[in-house]
Amino acid sequence: MKIAQDAEMRMLDQMAADFAAKELVEAREDHDRYPFLPLFEDVLAKAHEVGFFTLLLPEAAGGGEQGISALSLILDDICRSDASLGGIIFTTALAHEMILKAKSEALLPPVASGDHSYREALIACPSFDNPGEAGNLLQAKGKGKKHMLSGSIEYVVLAGLCGRALLPAKVEGDESYSLFLVDLTSPGVEVSEPVFSLGLHACPACDLELKGVEATLVGRQGEGRAYFDAAVDKMFLAAAAMATGIMKGSFTEAFEYSLQRHQGGWEIINWSEVRMLLASLAIKCKVADMLLSEACRAAEADEAGWGLGARAAAIHVQELACDATTDGIQLLGGNGYMEDYGQEKRFRDAKQIQSLLGLTPMKRLDYIRRIREGEKPW
C-alpha cells in the first residue's frame, strides 16, 4: 500500500504480509468451513500475540497505540489472503474506537497477550449496523452507570467468541441510544448458534436475546450516536482497506492463473479480452490503493473534511471490490467458482464487507446530508 512509506510502516507491512502468507493461505479453505469445521483458534492466538486485536488502543491499555494508517495497512495485507481475520480485527477495533471516543478506556480490562487469551482481547459488537437506522433497539432501564438491558439484537459479530459485547440500547424517554458494555456470560443472556452467512465465515456473528441483563453504560447516556459517528469515519477507512486487500488478492490470483491456463492453443493472457478484464481489475486495485492512502494521510493529518473523504473512499472502494471480485472469478472460469481457489471466497467476502457499518444506500444519503448541513464536499 502506498502509505507504507516510512520504516515503521514498512516493517508492519512486511510483518502482516508474512503472517498472512504463513498462517492464512494454506488452510484458507478449511478455515472458511466454520462452523462446520473448528474455528482457526491457533491463528487467532498468534494474531493476538502480534497485537492485531489491540492496534488502536493506547499503550496504557495494553494496545499498540497505532493510527488508522497502520490498521488499514494490516487489514489490506491480511484480507488479500483471508478477510475473516480482517473482520475480527475490524470489529474489535470498532468497539475499541467507540469506547475511546466515549473516553471510557478505563472500562477495558488489560489485554496483554502474555497474560490473556485472544478471547479476552476481543469485544463483540454489531459492526454491520448503524444503530441510528435500526427500527428496533434493545431497551435499557436504570440510572447512572448500571442498567438492565432487555430485548433481542441480531448479528452481533464475535458474540460467540468472546465474553464481552458493546451494544446499543435505548433508555426509555431518550431521543437517541446509548452504548453499554455487557458481560455475555451473565444470567439472562442467550447467545444463538453462529449465524451462517454469505462471507467472512470465520468471523462469526450471533443473535442475542437479553432478559434483564446488567450492563455498564459507556460514556454518557443518550450519546451513543455521537460516539458511533465520531468513531465511524476512521472505521470507514478500515473497511475500505479490507475491500482493497480483497481486490488485490483477487487480481494476483487471476493474473497468475492467466499466465498458466491455456485456451485456444496459448496462455489465456494472450487473448485481449482477458487482458482487458485483468487491466480493469488492476486499475480498480490501483485506484483503491491511491484513494485509501490519500484518505488515510488526510485523516492522520486531521485535515478539514477528512471524514467525508473517508466515507467517499469506503463507499467507492467497496463497490469497486464487488465488481472486481466478480471479474476475478470470471478470469478463472469454472475453477474460479470452486472453493479450491480463493476467488469465490473473495467474491463473497467483498459483498459481505460492503454492508459493514450500515446499509450502503443510507451511507450515501448520510453523505449528502452532511454536505447539506455545511461540510465542504472538497
Partner 1 sequence: MGPNRSKALLEREPRFDDMAVSLLAMPRLPKAMVKETKQAVELARRFNDTVVRPYALELDRKKHEDPDFLPWEFVEEANRWGLYTLCIPTLFGGQGVNFPALSYVLEELGSACTGMSNLVGVHYLGVATLCASWNMRLMNKVMRDTAEGEKTGEPCLISLAITEPGAGTDVEEVDLVSKAQVACQAKKVKGGYVVNGRKIFISNGHLSYWHMLVCYEDLKNPQDTVIMLAIHNGMKGFSFGRQERKMGQKGCPASELIFEDCFVPDDLVCINPAQGKKLKRSMKETHMQVIDYIVAASRAGVGAFGVGVARGAYEEALRFAGETEVDGKLLINHEWAQCMLAEMYKNVAVGRLTYEEANYANDLLGMFKVLEWKPIFYYLKYMPKPIMDKVIQPFLNLGAVTWLFRKIYFDWQKETDYQCSSGWGSLSKFTATDIGVKNGQLALEMMGRAGLRHDRGAEKHLRDSKLLQIYEGTNQLNRLNLFKCLIGRDVPGARVFEE
* Site for partner 1, rule CB under 8 A: 29, 33, 36, 128-129, 132-133, 135-136, 154-155, 195-199, 262-266, 270-274, 277, 322, 326, 329-330, 333-334, 336-340, 344, 347-348, 351-352, 354-355, 358-362, 365
- Calculate the CA dihedral of residues 9, 11, 12, 18 and round it to 10 degrees: 140
The packing angle between helices 343-354 and 306-330, to 10°, is: 150
Name residues whose C-beta falls within 8 Å of residue 363's C-beta, 6 or more positions apart in sequence: 130, 311, 314, 315, 357
Select 4 or 94, whichever has its Cβ closest to partner 1.
94
Q: Give least dist CB 78 to partner 1, A.
A: 20
Minimum CB separation from partner 1 for residue 133, in Å? Answer: 5
Specify the residue, 72 or 318, whose C-beta has the smaller distance to partner 1. Answer: 318
Alpha carbons 113 and 91: distance in angstroms, whole number: 18
C-alpha–C-alpha distance, residues 91 and 100, integer Å: 14
Closest CA to 80 of 247, 204, 224, 210: 247
Q: What sign does the CA torsion over 85, 88, 91, 93 have?
A: negative
Give the Cβ contact number of residue 49 at 10 Å: 12
CB of 76 to partner 1, least distance (A): 22
**Cβ closest to partner 1, residue 52 vs residue 128:** 128
Judged by CB, which is closer to partner 1: 185, or 260?
260
Instruction: Report the residue number, 252 or 326, with the smaller CB distance to partner 1.
Output: 326
Report in angstroms how near the CB of residue 288 gets to partner 1 at its nearest.
18
Return d(Cα 181, Cα 222) in angstroms, integer: 14
**In 3D, which of 71, 47, 69 has the Cα closest to residue 121?**
47
Q: How far is the CB of 356 from partner 1 (least distance, A)?
A: 9
Shortest CB 185 distance to partner 1, Å: 25
Taking the alpha carbons at both ends of the chain, their separation in whole angstroms is 24
Give the C-alpha separation, 360 to 378, whole Å: 21
Angle among Cα 19, 44, 297 to the nearest 5 degrees reads 55
Residue in the structure block whose three cell numbers are 451473565: 186
Measured from the CB atom, the residue of 117 and 192 that comes closer to partner 1 is 192
Of the pair 15, 195, the CB lying nearest partner 1 is at: 195
Q: CB of 344: closest distance to partner 1 in angstroms?
A: 4
From the CB of 312, what's the least distance to partner 1, in Å?
17
